[in-house]
Structure 1
Amino acid sequence: MSTCPRREQILKSAEQVLGNRELAEWWLTKPALGFDHRSPCSLLMNHLGYGHVRDFLVRLECGVYQRSVGADALFPATDFY
């Protein structure tokens, strides 16, 4: 488990939004189009990047993004579905 407070906060939010910790941990480390092919975790090094990831999860939770439409912006191209 990481001691980075930003990572833990985002991981908890992602777990709530995505439904389980395993998926949240996977999402956090994989490059995504929504973050210019960077992983959400790589953006947590500074306050601005942390804000982008946090805001993204809020929009996802509120239904601004849908997993069935434009899923490549959320998740990299894999066998996820």
Structure 2
Amino acid sequence: MNRLNLQKLSDKELSELMQNIDAELRRRNLETERKNAPKESDVSNGIIYRNPNDPWQVWRPGRGRRPNWVNEWLDSGRTLDELEDRETK
């Protein structure tokens, strides 16, 4: 590793060095977050919600926004637990 004598650097050089260090740290943090992010398959834990009025309509959490039929179900005072398809587990 190269040793840098910070005392010999000008204010401008120190400022550029700080900017480069900051950019590199942000890049590394983003890379670490991407590596540690849950995989798409991990997000839903295999849970599938099925529309009781149309069994062909299903929703897997973590895969796109919540469908209208789920929102309507919840707005009517019902719960997601009632929509869970327990046969697919």
Q: TM-score range with shorter-chain normalisation?
A: under 0.3
The structure with the greater share of residues assigned to helix is 1
* Structure with a larger share of its residues in strand: 2
Higher relative contact order (CA 8 A, sep 6+): 1
TM-score (norm 2): 0.26
The structure with the largest alpha-carbon Rg is 2
Q: TM-score, normalised by structure 1?
A: 0.27
